[in-house]
Structure 1
Amino acid sequence: MTRPDAARRPILIDADELAARLAEHPERRGARTVVLDVRWSLQQPDGRDAHRAGHIPGAVYVDLDTELADHARQGEGRHPLPGEAALTRAMRRWGLHDGDTAVVVDDLANQSAARAWWLLRYAGFDDVRMLDGGLAAWVAAGHPLETGDVVPEPGDATAHYGSMPVAGIDEAAAIAAEGVLLDARAGERYRGEVEPVDPEAGHIPGAISAPTAANVGADGRFLAPDALRTRFAELGAVPGARVGAYCGSGVTGAHEVAALALAGIDAVLYPGSWSQWSRTDRPVATGAEPGGAERGAAGPSEAEPAPGPDGAES
């Protein structure tokens, strides 16, 4: 069952508060703050080397491609959601216990960390937050980094899915037709001018372009709630509306859901996103308008083009 208040819990934490928490309860199970390093991008999906070179003290590396996705699931896009058992194993490897606070961090203005935020919320983990401004904010605040690997004692947390709303491909189509479906990718991908990863360029007919880059300021921090409310209201997404979000493969779409939650707007994530839609016979729209010029999709494709230059996009 979905808990409607799931996205109303605290979403962000700043660097100074995180540092204070880490100093206050470093070892107490069920009351600790556990930092998860979710560095990932299209250009460099494996962030282990970056993690080893410098991370928040005690932060555990999280592999987005293998721990926050299950590539054995066919036909569900490039980053299918992992099953409950798989995520439970990962959560325990990260050292999470029920009652802990999980803080997720990256170096992409939370565009990859948001995947962990959303998935842990979906799994019923009570307190998970994004470090506002990411690793850059931690360094800018004068806090130290450590190097090397972090191997925590195993935790005992368990994933129980259903605490955040999720949409399949049919519901995504319905939201696009009857509600507000936001496309979190860069505008040129939405318009169909380029497509560096998936087999067909364009967007879901009826979807509205809402790039995640506009959710944050130049410092990588989320805009203030009032500014986010204004941004989304201009796109038709207001409290009480039927709102959904998608991206390339369900990664940065989670960032859109988080920004909407900060604005007081409940939204459903379509995890399959464009990577699933573009591999079916569903219609495809191009151009700047939601309806655009429709054409039939290219259909399933076995080959995936190499990632493009925009590392922040999924």
Structure 2
Amino acid sequence: MAARPDARPAAHPDSRVDAAATDARTVVLDVRWTLAQPDGSGAYRAGHIPGAVYVDLDTELADHDVVGAGRHPLPSESTLTAAMRRWGLRDGDTVVVVDDLGNQSAARAWWLLRYAGFADVRLLDGALGAWRAAGHPLDTDDVVPEPGDATARYGGMPVLDIDQAAALPGHGVLLDVRAAERYRGEVEPVDPRAGHIPGARSAPTATTLDADGRFLPAEVLRAQYAELGAVPGADVATYCGSGVTGAHAVAALAIAGVDAALFPGSWSQWSNDASRPAATGGEPG
């Protein structure tokens, strides 16, 4: 079962989950979610990797009581700690996160767990489709693990606030990973204003995946990002609509060998602030 990436700069992005070799438990988290169907519990119960625990992205990977921080504000350390313990996580576990969307929703859990201090978190490359294609079985039971004892300690991944996101294009690279037509401001199906953060570059999530939902090879991703100025050593950050697929882009950049920060509030925070300008049209410059 190949899984990528673990996002440690020195680690090979195609490392494999091997609990026997690492003497660590491997816990699988199922993060089924889409914008149209945010409750993925039904899909989970229809078939999931044996032993996988369902994670509710909207209620466990976000805190909607936070005002003014976008559609998926980051949960507090205490909120995520409670969720991790419900999932049965213990400090030191190897964690594999999976969805049925090319890792576009699972990446939120990957990023948050890394941000919370977990050292070994993986994305199942190709997501659930790869599991099915390999002929592995699915279960339909609702997995309820013994409570864990893990504790969230934030600071393991870089983040930007809204002012830092505004300033970044002046000295680095800010990547907007929404669909290109949303970046250009031609459509806006969710948020109150169309367009993008001035100076941001367009790097749609779809361009990082192949037809089977697997990440493109590292060298291909590296070349794509280099065209946008996102190269090793540059100040790079990503954003999306609400901080979900922006985390997926951080993972893709890690595979390419580029460290990147996340602007969690993303366009949903920016577009709700009338004092922030919205750019439209093509690439800056």
Q: Does 1:119 align with 2:104?
A: no
Q: Which amino acid aligns with 1:285?
A: A
Unaligned runs of 5+ in 1: 292-314
- 1:119-163 deviation line (CA, Å, top 9, x unaligned): 000000111100000000001011100002110000001000001
Structure 1 pair 108–12 and aligned structure 2 pair: CA distance change class (3 A): farther
Cross-structure match for 2:100: 107
Structure 1 pair 43–150 and aligned structure 2 pair: CA distance change class (3 A): same
Give the drift of 1:13.
6.4
Give the drift of 1:32.
1.1
2:13 touches 2:255 (CA, 8 Å); kept in 1? no
Q: Percent identity?
A: 73
Structure 1 pair 218–122 and aligned structure 2 pair: CA distance change class (3 A): same
CA distance in 1, matches of 2:219, 2:102: 19
What is the TM-score normalised by the length of structure 1?
0.85
Cross-structure match for 1:218: 211
Structure 1 segments of 4 or more deviating over 6 A? Answer: none
Superposed, which structure 2 residues align to 1:212-251 within 5 Å? Answer: 212-251=205-244
Cross-structure match for 2:126: 133
Q: Which amino acid aligns with 1:101?
A: T
Superposed, which structure 2 residues align to 1:49-60 within 5 Å? Answer: 49-60=42-53
Cross-structure match for 1:310: none
Q: Which amino acid aligns with 2:113?
A: L
Q: Does 1:283 align with 2:274?
A: no
Give the drift of 1:8.
2.4
Give the drift of 1:179.
1.1
CA distance in 2, matches of 1:69, 1:105: 18
Q: Which amino acid aligns with 2:9?
A: R
- 1:167-203 deviation line (CA, Å, top 9, x unaligned): 0000001112221100000001000011110000000
Give the drift of 1:288.
1.2
CA distance in 1, matches of 2:12, 2:84: 19
Cross-structure match for 1:80: 73
CA distance in 2, matches of 1:284, 1:166: 21
CA distance in 2, matches of 1:137, 1:9: 26
Q: Does 1:200 align with 2:201?
A: no
Q: Which amino acid aligns with 1:121?
A: R
2:33 touches 2:105 (CA, 8 Å); kept in 1? yes
1:31 corresponds to which of 15, 19, 24: 24
Unaligned runs of 5+ in 2: 1-5
Cross-structure match for 2:9: 8
- For the aligned residue pairs, the C-alpha RMSD in angstroms reads 1.9
Count of matched residue pairs: 279
SS at match of 2:163: helix
